[in-house]
Structure 1
Amino acid sequence: MNFSQSGISGSTQFCYESTLGSCPKITFPIIARVPLYLFLGAAITVTVCGNLLVIISIAHFKQLHTPTHFLLLSLAAADFLLGGFVMPPSMIRLVENCWYFGDLFCKVHTSTDITIETASLWHMLFISIDRYYAVCHPFRYRNKITVFVTVNMIFISWTLAAVSGFGLIFLELNTQGMEDSYDHFDCVGGCFVVQNAASAIITSLLFFYIPGFVMICIYLKIFLVARKHARSIRDTALARQTAEEKKNTTSLKREIKAAKTLGITMGVFLVCWLPIVICFNVDPFINNSTPPILLDVVVWFAYLNSAFNPFIYALFYNWFRKAFRVIIFGKIFQNDSSNIQLLTN
């Protein structure tokens, strides 16, 4: 997101020494460059491999072919794309303090970054709606949240995200009215994201604050209903329940646990992305003078959210741990492995 000249002490040079109008750069000492590459490279590897495991698990095992898991699959695909496409050039830009991939790829990279961020948030919103019906209206859930409805949710998420991400950058809506001040950032070897005040406020409201507030309200409702159900289950003597009642109780417990897990996922997402959203909201009102090193830190803090999600699944989902063992030990290549039961009835 922020493509700036981060600074540690070092000799001032230019991204392209022989090119007029080249961006200045500050060369990191080798003692800083190596740890940075190692840390950021490890973050990229974890993001790509962790989310690839989620994608393979949900795509391969038939028991996971449900609306909720399809939404998780698409969310993991977004995180996978972020780790495989967005983060590597961002790592080079951060450590080398220059953008060496050209203006067109700068726009594509920036647009993709915004698209994935927006798509992830919309996925979180639709997942919260899915969990709302599963916990609060369990008898209407199968009729309301079908595979067809889920596919439409995924399509809407990616379409709105792509239109907003690529439209904002390629139509230059983020810099309208800033032509004079933007010249300060226009140099060869730079790839900067600058927004005018209107763009910063509108985009953050529509694609972060409002959806985030709606999600928080939905999960508060879910947890209130879940607590009520938990009391009801506790007050009921399970020994006297019929087999069908016990099955419904087990199913309800699983749905509540899934809602709690996805609520944690949503909370981590909002916490990781809130600093960068605040920075980009404030920056236009202080003449885009936020310290570059601060912007670099909040950008990568947001990126790391994509690495956290597989760990959350591994911590709270038995099906993911079972799928992980099947994949790692090569059992996925055995006949009929797609029918392995990962969820208990």
Structure 2
Amino acid sequence: MNITEQQQDLTVQYCFPDNNLSCRKEVRTGPGNIFLFTLLSFISVCTVLFNLLVIISISHFKQLHTPTNLLILSLAVADLLVGLVVMPVNIMQLGVSCWYLGKMACAVIPLINVVSTSASLCSMTCIAVDRYIAVNDPLLYSTKITVCKTSLIIILGWSLCFFYVLTVFYFNDHLLQSQISMSCYGECFIVIKYSWVIVDLVISFLCPCSIILILYTLIFIVARRQAIAVKSMSKVHSPGHTVKVSITSETKAAKTLGIVVCFYLGCWIPFFLSSLFSETLSSVTLLWTVFSWLLYISSAVNPIIYAIFYPWFRASANYIVTCRIFDSSSSSLSLFREHF
């Protein structure tokens, strides 16, 4: 038995062989793991590329500098952080059990993770408010919602997300003691206390999601009522075509963003429901990993939904891919004939 144990010790790999406190190294190989890592890496690359297309499109073309598009830009930035930082780090942890990025990164990367996902939900909430005002009061929308006001709201929203997460994760000594667990050198995983899960569930999920669902319900009710009114007016007055186009376009935009929201909530709900059935959650558990990646995948799907429903995104992507945005007058090009 002693000889066998010695032989097993010789085959054991460590994250840092020169450190006596090093964790044991577990490398996950095999056809199934290779396929999984390849698939997740492809999703990460697509998330970065698709959201970059959205960011470049809205930033470059002056015609897209609208309040709604600025909120979509904010959402794309949050999704870009997920694809650029959060996804690669999680893929690395799935492939090798060791943590090679250091203790500082072990503390900072969860911050980026939660800030980006919180900012996504904050952007969703602002988009719902924007669409409700546009549909409920289209004639006064341009005076109530401006690019300047929207920019300030976006800055305020990101700031609140950042300081909320920073306060909860790092300025609360009670939580700080149990969040980062490093029993050996080369290990990093997060253990979240159940009390924090409840607080975060209410502040970061239930409140904004309730606002989103209520507003989109009201949007569809108002849009349907307006569509019926316009249809009845068009039978009597043919000049109502302009109003009809405006209301129809706003309704289409609301439906498109509603699909984004429904998909996003569908990815979030399993994550938070699973957190309620465990007093402590570790980032290395299988359930946590599956539901976390379900959240991350939503960051890749959002731009695809834009591409399907928004002609301006397809047109701008064509200009970007063909490098025609480098023309001196490209920022003033018209991307659609009809305002959506």
Same-fold call, TM > 0.5?
yes
Matched, 1:274 2:262: no
Q: What is the Cα deviation at residue 165 of structure 1?
A: 2.2
- Tell me the distance in 2 between the aligned counterparts of 1:138 and 1:117: 30
> Conserved in 2, the CA contact under 8 Å of 1:12 and 1:26?
no
Q: Secondary structure at the match of 1:195?
A: strand
Whether the 8 Å contact between 2:28 and 2:96 is mirrored in structure 1 is: yes
The runs of 5 or more residues in structure 1 that have no matched partner are 1-10
For residues 30-63 of structure 1, the C-alpha deviation after alignment (integer angstroms, 9 at most, x for no partner) is 3234212211110111000000000111111111
Q: Secondary structure at the match of 2:16?
A: coil
Distance 1:21 1:205, change over 3 A: farther
Q: Distance in 2 between matches of 1:329 and 1:148?
A: 32
Name the Cα RMSD after superposition: 2.3
Q: Where does 1:319-334 land on structure 2 (aligned, <5 Å)?
A: 319-334=312-327
2:226 maps to which of 226, 229, 234: 229
Q: Is the 8 A contact 1:112 1:166 kept in 2?
A: no
Structure whose alpha-carbon radius of gyration is higher: 2
* Residues 40-55 of structure 1 mapped to structure 2, 5 A cutoff: 40-55=40-55
Matches of 1:112 and 1:203, distance apart in 2: 16
Report the counterpart of residue 218 of structure 1 in structure 2: 215
> In 2 relative to 1, CA 276–172 (structure 1 residues): closer, same or farther, beyond 3 Å?
farther
Call closer, same or farther: CA 1:280–1:13 in 2, change over 3 Å: farther
1:289–1:123: structure 2 CA closer, same or farther, 3 Å change rule?
Answer: closer
The aligned residue for residue 7 of structure 2 is none
What CA distance in whole angstroms lies between the structure 1 residues aligned with 2:61 and 2:235?
A: 31
Counterpart for residue 297 of structure 1: 290
The correspondence of residues 246-285 of structure 1 with structure 2, limited to 5 A, is 246-283=241-278, 285=279
Q: 1:91 to 1:124 in 2, by over 3 A?
A: same
With over 3 angstroms needed to count, the CA separation of the structure-2 counterparts of 1:212 and 1:12, relative to structure 1, is farther
Residue deviations 1:187-238, cap 9 Å, x none? 3222212122221111121011111011101100001111112222333337
Is the alpha carbon distance of 1:96 and 1:176 closer, same or farther for their aligned partners in structure 2, counting shifts above 3 Å? Answer: closer
**Cα separation, 2, equivalents of 1:12 and 1:68:** 56
| TM-score for the superposition, normalised by structure 1 | 0.87
The answer to whether the Cα contact below 8 Å between 2:58 and 2:69 also exists between their aligned partners in 1 is yes
How many equivalent residue pairs?
328
The Cα shift of 1:25 comes to 4.7
Residue number in structure 2 paired with 1:341: 334
**Counterparts of 1:188 and 1:56, CA distance in 2:** 41
Take 2:151 and 2:43, find their aligned partners in 1: how far apart are those partners?
30
Q: Tell me by how many angstroms 1:86 deviates.
A: 1.9
Q: Which amino acid is the alignment partner of residue 208 of structure 1?
A: F
Q: Which moved more, 1:19-28 or 1:141-150?
A: 19-28
Q: Verify the 8 A CA contact 2:132 2:216 in the aligned structure 1.
A: yes
- Residue range with higher mean Cα deviation, 226-235 or 35-44: 226-235
* Post-superposition CA distance 1:97-121 (Å, at most 9, x none): 2221011011111101011111111
Return the TM-score normalized by structure 2.
Answer: 0.89
Q: Secondary structure at the match of 2:190?
A: coil
- Taking the aligned partners of 2:265 and 2:12, their CA distance within structure 1 comes to 37
| Gap change, CA 1:289 and 1:258, over 3 Å in 2 | closer
**Matched residue type, 1:87:** M
In structure 1, distance between residues paired with 2:90 and 2:121 = 21
Mapping 1:196-211, distance limit 5 Å: 196-211=193-208
Residue 104 of structure 2 aligns with which residue?
Answer: 104
Q: 1:216-269 deviations in whole A, cap 9, x for unaligned?
A: 011000011111122223333379422xx3222212111111111111111111
Identity of aligned residues (%): 36
* Greater CA drift, 252-261 or 331-340: 331-340
Q: Which runs of 5+ in 2 are unaligned?
A: 1-10
Give, in whole Å, the separation in 1 of the partners of 2:284 and 2:48: 30
Q: Secondary structure at the match of 2:98?
A: coil
Distance 1:227 1:25 in 2: 59
Distance across 2 between alignment mates of 1:119 and 1:291 = 24
Query: Which residue in the other structure is 1:3 paired with?
Result: none
